[in-house]
Structure 1
Amino acid sequence: MTMRTVTITGARTTGHRDPAHYARLFAHYLAPFGPEAHFHLGGARGIDSLALAWLAAQTPARITVVVPGVLDQQPPEARHAVARAGDRVAELVELGAEPLDDAAYLARNRWMVDRSELVIGFPVGTSTVSGTWQTLDYAARQDKARLIVPI
């Protein structure tokens, strides 16, 4: 069986739901890909950190964390999630962007989408200016399959 590559994108703000809610979403929408999946995650706080922790603990899937600059520039929550995942992170990609602005984060997201067959987005609301929606729109323009899971 061929390994399916999947990008996960989502809101940085996740405090409006409890962690068990996200665990249920991940069990429902990420687990079906099983051991044949290779997940790309953005290494940020919020959905990125929550999904990384869940995937590392609950699946044998291959995990790649991609950051726009270097890991040390990421928020503490994100750095701790990567550290806790340990050797479950198969690859850490540091794109070396300077400065770390919106363009750098969008470039990171495009990098992940370009290497994936499927993009799973976990947006809050419908604002098209969010990085999550911009990433999903980019995936659509690339004719990539998308799954949208509102949070």
Structure 2
Amino acid sequence: MTPYDTELITRAVAITGTRATGHRSRHDYADLFAAYLGPFADDAHFYIGGAKGIDSLAPAWLAENTAARLAVVVPGSVGQQHAEARQAIARTRARIKDVVELRAAELATPAYHARNRWMVDRASMTIGFPHATEPSTGTSQTLNYTAEQGKPRLIVPVQLSSQAFPATMES
């Protein structure tokens, strides 16, 4: 069996989300991830973008609370990522199966969109955590690309902590 055969057996999930996460506590995010990542974690391989925000919080929670396989995907190299992202990768490195560096020549919007498409192309679904007040972002681009590919999306808006976590499942 090749690694690609294993991917077909294991559910592959792309995670995308806001970089603006300071409006909620880490405990709130742990509850959010337990509710919306936890049900997929037993047999999943997660592709996570390697940026700050959700991309840094999700792998930390997954590494600590699940046996899921983790892959971090960056548009350039890990060294070019935000300090928060580099620290999250370093803290969870023992649990990360793959670090994929796409080696983009320039870290600009097209490189991040290419990274997002790379993850979605390898995933069977995407779980997105958009910030409710950011309607046009990389997260929305990733979720839209997922829909264009005919793959299901679980959309969990990240709102102020006094609000519930309403999620929608779309395919």
The alignment's TM-score, normalised by the length of structure 1, stands at 0.97
Larger Cα-atom Rg: 2
- On the 8 A contact 1:128/1:134 being kept in 2, the answer is no
What aligned pairs does 1:46-85 form with structure 2 within 5 A after superposition? 46-85=53-92
Q: How many equivalent pairs are there?
A: 151
Query: Matches of 1:138 and 1:98 in 2, distance apart?
Result: 23
Q: Which residue of 2 aligns with 1:97?
A: 104
Q: Distance in 2 between matches of 1:47 and 1:127?
A: 14
Unaligned runs of 5+ in 1: none
Name the CA distance, whole Å, in 1 between partners of 2:38 and 2:9: 16
Confirm whether residue 133 of structure 1 aligns to residue 145 of structure 2. Answer: no
2:95 to 80, 85, 88: 88
- TM superposition score normalised by structure 2: 0.86
Number of the residue aligned with 2:4:
none
- CA shift for structure 1 position 98: 1.5
After superposition, the CA RMSD in angstroms is 1.2
Going from structure 1 to structure 2, the CA distance change for 1:127 and 1:34 (only over 3 Å counts) comes to: closer
1:116 counterpart letter in structure 2: A
Which sections of structure 2, spanning at least 5 residues, go unmatched?
A: 1-7, 159-171
| Equivalent in the alignment of 2:149 | 142
SS of equivalent residue, structure 1 residue 39: strand
Instruction: Determine the C-alpha separation between the residues in 2 that align with 1:126 and 1:119.
Output: 20
- 1:127 Cα offset (Å): 4.2
Identity of aligned residues (%): 58
Quote the Cα distance in structure 2 between the aligned partners of 1:141 and 1:128: 18
For 1:38, the aligned partner's letter is H
1:144/1:126 Cα in 2 relative to 1: closer, same or farther (>3 Å)? farther
Q: Tell me, in whole angstroms, the C-alpha distance in 2 between the residues paired with 1:70 and 1:78.
A: 11
Q: Which residue of 1 aligns with 2:131?
A: 124
Once residues 155 and 101 of structure 2 are traced to their aligned partners in structure 1, the CA distance between those partners, rounded to angstroms, is 26
The answer to whether the Cα contact below 8 Å between 1:70 and 1:95 also exists between their aligned partners in 2 is: yes
- TM superposition outliers: structure 1 runs of 4+ over 6 Å: none
CA deviation map 1:90-113 (0-9, x unaligned): 000000001100110010000000
